[in-house]
Amino acid sequence: MSQAVSLLENVRIVLVHTTHPGNIGGVARAMKNMGLSRLYLVKPKHFPDEQAVWRAASALDVLDNAVVVETLDEAIADCSLVVGTSARGRRIPWPLLNPRDCAEQILPALANNEVACVFGREDRGLTNEELQRCNLHVHIPTNEDYSSLNLAMAVQVIAYELRMACLANEISHDEMEGWDAALATADDLERYFVHLEQTLIDMGFLKPKAPKQLMSRLRRLYSRKRMDELEVSMLRGILTATQAWVSKAGKGK
Ligand code: SAH
């Protein structure tokens, strides 16, 4: 295996609440054809299942090694870059890429980081909340009158573009190579957002009864930059200090 293609080992495909086990098998096959092997299943309706085995053909190893988890957060906790896929536009516009540009953006991260590509339910796709867990959104530019691809075919297109990007970049270079801190994981970011939300409530800036889209927009803002662990812990330090001030001011009243 060439070194460039071996980078694909750091990509995980995450399927959220898949209904038809045949699609899980189809995804496993699409992955193996493109050299991907790490499949995460968030609460699949039926798995293991004979139909998954039939559709996987010679990719049974991908199925056998699939990791089944209860929540999307568990599936992406240790990932530094999370890509969500969507068959249609959503209420809050997010940085939106086509699969080719997306693969180019993912490639530099692959040398030192875990990257997740997240796919939604057959009937409803990903919820807005799930999409807001993602740094980037990808849409395969399909026919506007019929935009939704079969799940395994959507995985095939993304995996193909990832493979092509690796092959085109035999010598990959990471723009963050030599960085002095590890990138923050999805788990670090979730804890940061919980802390941020609570601080904004304490300050009276975020009204829990009328939150508007404040947290969604802040999530979008932060997702445009890849923060490292030190930056997240610095921001959390600022939040803790702010909370202490707010509490002191409250006591003085
Ligand atoms: N009816 C759903 C479509 C679900 S298709 C909806 O309107 O959202 C199942 C999954 O396949 C999607 O969640 C997405 O992960 C992927 N998918 C299908 N078509 C896609 C497209 N054109 N671009 C990107 N992902 C797509």
Domain ranges of the chain: 3-168, 186-251
Q: What is the CATH number of domain 3-168?
A: 3.40.1280.10
Integer Cα distance of 67 and 41 in angstroms: 6
Q: What is the CATH number of domain 186-251?
A: 1.10.8.590
64 CA to centre of own chain: 23
Give every residue of the chain whose pLDDT is below 50, as ranges: 171-172
Ligand 1 center from residue 148 Cα (angstroms): 5
Name the residue of 40, 85, 131 whose CB sits within 8 Å of the most ligand 1 atoms, as the mutation to test its pocket.
85
Q: What pLDDT, on the 0 to 100 scale, is given for residue 145?
A: 93
Q: Ligand 1: does its nearest atom lie under 6 Å from the Cβ of 147?
A: yes
pLDDT tens per residue across span 181-194: 988 999 999 999 99
Say if 3-168 and 186-251 have the same CATH topology. no
Start-to-end C-alpha separation, the chain: 68
* Rg of the chain over all Cα atoms, to the nearest angstrom: 20
The pTM assigned to this predicted structure is 0.85
